[in-house]
Structure 1
Amino acid sequence: MHTDTERCVRAVQSKDARFDGVFFTAVRTTRIYCRPSCPAVPPKAQNMEFHPTAASCQRAGYRACKRCRPDTSPGSSAWHARADAVARAVRLIQDGIVDREGVPGLAARLGYSTRQIERQLLAELGAGPLALARAQRAQTARLLIETTPLPMAEIAFAAGFASIRTFNDTVREVFALTPGELRARATRPRKAPAPAPAPAPAPGTITLRLPFRAPLEPSNLFGHLAATAVPGVEEWRDGAYRRTLALPYGHGIVALASRADHVLCRLSLTDHRDLTHAISRCRRLLDLDADPVAVDGQLRADPLLAPLVDAAPGRRVPRTVDAAEFAVRAVLGQQVSTAAARTHAARLVTAHGVPVDDPEGGLTHLFPTPAALAGLDPETLALPRSRRTTLLTLVTALADGSLALGPETDWTEARERLRALPGFGPWTTEVIAMRALGDPDAFLPGDLGIRRAAEGLGLPAAPAALTARAARWRPWRAYAVQYLWATDSHPINHLPA
């Protein structure tokens, strides 16, 4: 997109918010970079240059606009709709891998040398892994400075900086303000302050806004998460979806609530170094980096799907915060009702999950890890013998590393490895690809709900025929699944009371 200068200029001149995060506008005369929808007067076309990432702008010597705050734009949907090495590298960097394991750790997860990864990222994004991680550290630091009373020294290390001096220099270079000036601007009284969210956040809670590209239809997104919530791990309370998070340095509890132009996120973390990772997981869970205009435009071209899209545009795919957790839950949900699947999962949580404290609600445990489940006694599982075998084989493969499910996973390879396990048919494999791995083209032609919806719309109901017809929906078939599911009255399609 950033190489199509004429199209980018039109987007900037029309202040088109659809392109926020897709590319960034750098102004040569002011040395400032902005999002396309910046409310300032657009610069002259000859003074603009376009970059694919904020890191690329910073690497070229530009600082972030103080008015439109381009570093807080939604992420580009390209990195979540692709499965190549560059896209997987970006997803890992967003998860904070470079901060925790360095560039060698990033390269090792992808199976490339550090030189290959640096060359590929630089060629496509205009910035290498260190520059991308630096830009992300700067944004994390800004969040902590503006939303917490933490001392600056603690913020520096929580954001991933190696020293306080590097933290100070980076903040000044990226935002043209010192850390103290950033905090002063954030605490400056406004003429019409927004009311505080209810209930009031507990001490140590970080409250922030997660941006997205409009439109966003919350009914199936939050409805699905609430209807399938595992007791003790997830709950719907006070109009928000809440759940526990197992994180690299500790654990946390997040509450997510839909608002008109953002998702309100309240995070309580045992270690603030997990902030970047927690935000990345929450964005992935709610599919907030999707491009609904591109998705709905493709699906609307099918006259049988168009009425569903027009009735509720902007449906997202409810994903997960932990791919391994979802894979376990997918096996527990094979050929049983939603309520039965929740019951089976709750028993595992009570027996093998790590207890946590939740002063604000009813969350009690972290979902058990594959390592914790690998040694369980199969006779304690109230499941058919074949499903016990499937579950134990899955958690053993996840625990010993022979099966990897995460941001770095190649979708095709993961499907092949899953299909090689006993008890993994097309439905289980594809639902894991759709919700755990994030493949936007995953499809469930054999799902009972999909077949019923297809019959009602006049689409072919037989899996092979429906798959052939769905070729016109590619590469967004996972979103077509959401529109088809929404034709049913199942609780997953409605916001809880």
Structure 2
Amino acid sequence: MITDQQTCMTAVRSRDARFDGWFVTGVRTTGIYCRPSCPATPPKARNITFYPSAAAAQAHGFRACKRCRPDASPGSPEWNARADLVARAMRLIADGVVDREGIDGLSRRLGYSTRQIERQVRAELGASPLALARAQRAQTARVLIETTTLPLTQVAHAAGFGSIRSFNDTVRAVFAMAPRQLRSHSRVAVEQVQTRSAWHHLPLRLPYRRPLRFDNLFGHLVATAVPGVEEWRQDTYRRTLRLPHGPAVVALRPEDGYVAARVWLHDLADLPVAISRCRWLLDLDADPQAIDAHLSADPVLGPLVAAAPGRRVPRTVDGAELALRLVIGQQISTRAARTHAARLVAAHGERIDDPDGGLTAVFPDAAAVAGASDGTLAMPQSRRLTLRGLATALADGNIDVSASADWTSARQDLLALPGIGPWTVEGVAMRAFGDPDAFPATDLGVRQAMARLGLPDQGRAAQDASSPWRPWRAYAVQHLWASGPHEINQLPEQARSHG
């Protein structure tokens, strides 16, 4: 995190939005904390304390600025670029693990004692895991209070609060208003939360750092979409999700400065998790200017970056699903992989009644894939054995392919499975782990692009040629893929420019 006085003060004085999410500014004379780009007149340096997180500012008694809404800024891009304990803990906190399982659950998932986790997280972020989870609950509550007509008791439940009293106390402490006051003061357009049968429908906005090049981001998701699980309709990507309290459907559409999201949930308590997974899927917390600046310094890659800044890495809402789909797609075309995956979904997917029509199921979990019949898995026996072996390992908990996985050990565990090689492992690392330096050197599209650019495209020479792109090789891969005519690089319909 950035907390050195000179850098932070320069960002505040220039109202530099690139630093939003990296730190917050606590103003001691007002008791308010702001994002670096706050439009208000910058306070005097002697009255400022910089904090590495909103939770840290809240823990020191500061309230969120009503003008710049620092709690609504994109998340820190630092957690996307790291694989250490603190980064893994932050990704689990964002996914709601502390709210569902407590600090003990966080400890079990990370394999460290609660004391170690508390100490390292507090040292770096200035707040405990519980305080960070509380700050996340407060932000979710604010969004629902200000943008929906949900009864406040349901807002408290959806935001993850255990009681109405805790909800009221937190909202007052963080925003200096009771929930009812916050709603009455809102100048945001409020929408009625629609309930269709068992579904709750909520509209949301997901902010991102500009620029955002969305053709390859959404194009990749659409080109590889599994029928029944995903679809592209009216410039919107829709898909089903498996969340802790039941299935969900999300619809994501890029707009100027944000992604418009519509979420259908069976249980409102799944809202924070749905938001987190959608942000992860679209890589919305990335810092595109820092990434592009690094890649632009390479004379070969520089022109590609200049032509299309702001590329993101298309990720996943479910690491296990992605890993299984990558094995299904080994050594076959994108279209063939979709056909095989659709057959598996039709036979073993969890059926849903899409409230907006079009989608039919949630992708089957690992246990269902492990028990799938040979007729469902109509593929060569060697790949069928590989798929079952991976599914069994995932179902038994022997391999972690979630966003919070230890990148080194998870790679080793995957490579130890028969039939899984570097192409599959690096695909999982890039899109499930979120490793920004993952590099599938054996991928055909990558090799063809490197050859077109006059670079070595095989073996150690290809790895050496990619070294100048570290630690952002996963983003370099997006530019390499986009240099070719493959359908993953473009949307199926003419779309507008955003970002």
For the residue of structure 2 that corresponds to 1:436, the secondary structure is helix
Specify the alignment match of 1:485 in structure 2: 481
Matched, 1:283 2:279: yes
Deviations 1:225-278 (A, max 9, x none): 011100000000111000001100111110001112111111111100001110
Distance change in 2, residues 1:453/1:58 (3 Å): same
Contact preservation (8 Å) 1:35, 1:70: yes
Amino acid paired to 1:285: L
Q: Pick from 426, 432, 443: which aligns with 1:430?
A: 426
Shift of 1:149: 2.1
Contact preservation (8 Å) 2:403, 2:432: no
1: CA distance between counterparts of 2:351 and 2:149? 28
Specify the alignment match of 2:405 in structure 1: 409
1: CA distance between counterparts of 2:195 and 2:232? 18
For the residue of structure 2 that corresponds to 1:93, the secondary structure is helix
Amino acid paired to 2:53: T
2: CA distance between counterparts of 1:447 and 1:342? 18
Contact preservation (8 Å) 1:147, 1:206: no
For the residue of structure 2 that corresponds to 1:378, the secondary structure is coil
2: CA distance between counterparts of 1:456 and 1:372? 42
Q: Pick from 425, 438, 441: which aligns with 1:442?
A: 438
Amino acid paired to 1:464: R
Shift of 1:379: 4.5
Q: Pick from 333, 343, 356: which aligns with 2:352?
A: 356
- Equivalent residues in 2 for 1:233-252, closer than 5 Å: 233-252=229-248
Matched, 1:6 2:6: yes
Deviations 1:144-183 (A, max 9, x none): 2223322211221221111111110100110111111121
Contact preservation (8 Å) 1:211, 1:261: yes
Comparing 399-408 with 263-272, greater Cα deviation is found at 399-408
Distance change in 2, residues 1:433/1:31 (3 Å): same
TM-score of the superposition, structure 1-length normalised? 0.96
Specify the alignment match of 2:212 in structure 1: 216
Specify the alignment match of 2:463 in structure 1: 467
Deviations 1:426-461 (A, max 9, x none): 111111111111111000111111111111112112
Shift of 1:463: 3.0
Runs of 4+ in 1 over 4 A off after TM superposition: 200-203
Contact preservation (8 Å) 2:370, 2:391: yes
Contact preservation (8 Å) 1:9, 1:45: yes
2: CA distance between counterparts of 1:257 and 1:393? 36
CA-based RMSD:
1.6
1: CA distance between counterparts of 2:376 and 2:119? 51
For the residue of structure 1 that corresponds to 2:248, the secondary structure is strand
- Equivalent residues in 2 for 1:195-206, closer than 5 Å: 204-206=200-202
Comparing 383-392 with 42-51, greater Cα deviation is found at 42-51
Matched, 1:90 2:86: no
2: CA distance between counterparts of 1:180 and 1:106? 33
- Equivalent residues in 2 for 1:298-309, closer than 5 Å: 298-309=294-305
2: CA distance between counterparts of 1:184 and 1:223? 41
Amino acid paired to 1:448: L
2: CA distance between counterparts of 1:6 and 1:376? 59
Amino acid paired to 1:319: R
Contact preservation (8 Å) 1:27, 1:47: yes
Specify the alignment match of 1:384 in structure 2: 380
- Equivalent residues in 2 for 1:24-39, closer than 5 Å: 24-39=24-39
2: CA distance between counterparts of 1:62 and 1:2? 19
Contact preservation (8 Å) 2:436, 2:474: yes
1: CA distance between counterparts of 2:176 and 2:298? 49
1: CA distance between counterparts of 2:168 and 2:47? 30
Contact preservation (8 Å) 2:370, 2:387: no
1: CA distance between counterparts of 2:439 and 2:120? 30
Amino acid paired to 1:56: A
TM-score of the superposition, structure 2-length normalised? 0.96
Specify the alignment match of 1:319 in structure 2: 315
Comparing 372-381 with 91-100, greater Cα deviation is found at 372-381
How many matched pairs? Answer: 490
Deviations 1:301-344 (A, max 9, x none): 10110000000001000000000000010001001011000000
Deviations 1:49-91 (A, max 9, x none): 1111100000011000000100011010111110000000000
2: CA distance between counterparts of 1:462 and 1:110? 36
2: CA distance between counterparts of 1:380 and 1:493? 30
2: CA distance between counterparts of 1:447 and 1:463? 12
Deviations 1:357-403 (A, max 9, x none): 11313000000001122212234421000000000000000011111
Contact preservation (8 Å) 2:347, 2:376: no
Specify the alignment match of 2:257 in structure 1: 261
